[in-house]
Amino acid sequence: MQAWRVSELRGIEALTLVPDAPEPPPPGEGEISVALTAAALNYPDLLMLSGGYQYKPPLPFTPGMEACGRVIAVGEGVSADLLGQRMVVGSRAGTLCERLTLPLRGVRPAPEALNDAEAAAFGVGALTAWVAFERGRLAAGERVLVTGAGGGMGLSAVAVAKALGAEVIAAAGSAAKLAAARAAGADATLLIDRAAPDFADAGALDLVFDPVGGALVPPALKALRWGGRYLVIGFVGGQAEPVPLNRFLLKGIEAIGVRAGEAGRQDPAAGRRHIHAIDALANAGKLHPHIGLSVPLAEAPRAFAAMAAGDLIGKAVVSIG
């Protein structure tokens, strides 16, 4: 079996393709084995290569958080009716390989409206957006600014916010990324310079969905109306400078941290509800992830490099099998 492995935390260079990696164990009680057909990459996958993400899998590990594949074996207590079924796979790591054994709770039926690459690529972004807007109490008609709107996470947020009835302003650093955001449903777009961002043209905002951080934070907070909410998603642009707390006091605004996966682990019932919601949106044709790059399994480092360069539009998908 082919699998990518990381034995040292030194970035993309640490990725090693093992052509004869051990086969996964047969599924035990409550487990299944899946032959993967596609895996999608996320920014946390890139951070894990250098130990920069909050979750640090023990070395050596196989990267990859989401994938799609078909069930090839089931363990005790799992219905044989699942054999051959197309599934979405979710894991904290381990999907950049040909076959995987995992607990049944780590898979679910792939939305019929999505092909394998799309099914592999939509979950992390859509789930994060759904949980963020639930925590941010988004109401129909409210105005939402999405930063990093040309990336996989940002495009998911645009689509989910539109599905929830929001007015969406998409901010990104290139015309091509803004075009993708408009295709995902953005009502308006804003071309920004990450080194000197300015959101004055966005008008008063109810929510900011921000996976970028860095220099964008102060002007994004400034653009919020009284009682607005700033959703802390990630720090692709680096950590922000300290923000004076009086900004929150004077405008009555909130900063809300969002960790969608951890939210589901802390409250499994809510986690199941969130997954059901995004799968329903996908099956209704309201979530179609933009695949900006597709590479075969042997070229996975090229997909990581595209993410690191910051010029990837949408998601990178690795084709398997």
Q: How many CB atoms lie within 10 A of CB 10?
A: 12
Cis peptide before 60 (omega within 30 of 0): yes
Q: Residue 241 pLDDT > 80, yes or no? A: no
- CA–CA distance, 21 with 94 (Å, rounded to integer): 13
Query: Rounded mean pLDDT of 210-214?
Result: 93
Helix then strand then coil, % of the chain, to nearest 5: 35, 25, 40
Query: Rounded mean pLDDT of 129-156?
Result: 97
Q: What are the pLDDT digits (tens) for 264-309?
A: 999 999 999 999 999 999 999 999 999 999 999 999 999 999 999 9
Give me the pLDDT at residue 196, please.
85
Give me the pLDDT at residue 174, please.
94
- CA–CA distance, 112 with 119 (Å, rounded to integer): 9
Instruction: Please state at what angle helix 152-163 crosses helix 175-183, rounded to 10 degrees.
Output: 30
- CA–CA distance, 155 with 161 (Å, rounded to integer): 10
**Tokens 């990267």 found at:** 63
> What one-character DSSP code corresponds to residue 12?
G
- CA–CA distance, 294 with 297 (Å, rounded to integer): 10
Homologous superfamily assigned to 125-261? NAD(P)-binding Rossmann-like Domain (3.40.50.720)
Check: CB of residue 91 under 8 Å from CB of residue 263. Answer: no
DSSP for 201-232, please give it: GG-SEEEEEES--GGGHHHHHHHEEEEEEEEE
Give me the pLDDT at residue 239, please.
80
Give me the pLDDT at residue 247, please.
86
- CA–CA distance, 171 with 169 (Å, rounded to integer): 7
Give me the pLDDT at residue 238, please.
80
Q: What are the pLDDT digits (tens) for 9-47?
A: 999 999 999 999 999 999 999 999 999 999 999 999 999
Structure tokens at 301: 């480092």
Query: Rounded mean pLDDT of 156-181?
Result: 97
Give me the pLDDT at residue 62, please.
97
The candidate with the shortest Cα–Cα distance to 150, out of 197, 207, 192, 195, is 192
Ranges of beta strands (E only) in 237-303 are 254-257, 291-296
Structure tokens at 87: 């599934």
* pLDDT band, residue 203 (cuts 50/70/90): confident
Task: Check for a shared fold between 3-122+289-319 and 125-261.
Answer: no
DSSP for 114-144, please give it: S-HHHHHHSHHHHHHHHHHHHHTT--TT-EE
Check: CB of residue 21 under 8 Å from CB of residue 1. Answer: yes
Q: What are the pLDDT digits (tens) for 44-95?
A: 999 999 999 989 999 999 999 999 999 999 999 999 999 999 999 999 999 9
Average pLDDT of the chain, as a whole number: 95
Q: Any idea where the domains of the chain sit in the sequence?
A: 3-122+289-319, 125-261
Give me the pLDDT at residue 269, please.
95
Question: What 3-state DSSP class applies to 268?
Answer: helix
Check: CB of residue 315 under 8 Å from CB of residue 41. Answer: yes
Give me the pLDDT at residue 56, please.
94
Query: Rounded mean pLDDT of 182-199?
Result: 92
- CA–CA distance, 138 with 231 (Å, rounded to integer): 11
Question: What 3-state DSSP class applies to 79?
Answer: coil
Query: Rounded mean pLDDT of 250-259?
Result: 94
Quick one: CATH architecture of 3-122+289-319? Alpha-Beta Complex (3.90)
Give me the pLDDT at residue 193, please.
86
Query: Strand pairing partners for 190?
Result: 171
Give me the pLDDT at residue 220, please.
93
DSSP for 16-57, please give it: EEETTPPPPPPP-TTEEEEEEEEEE--HHHHHHTTT-SS--P
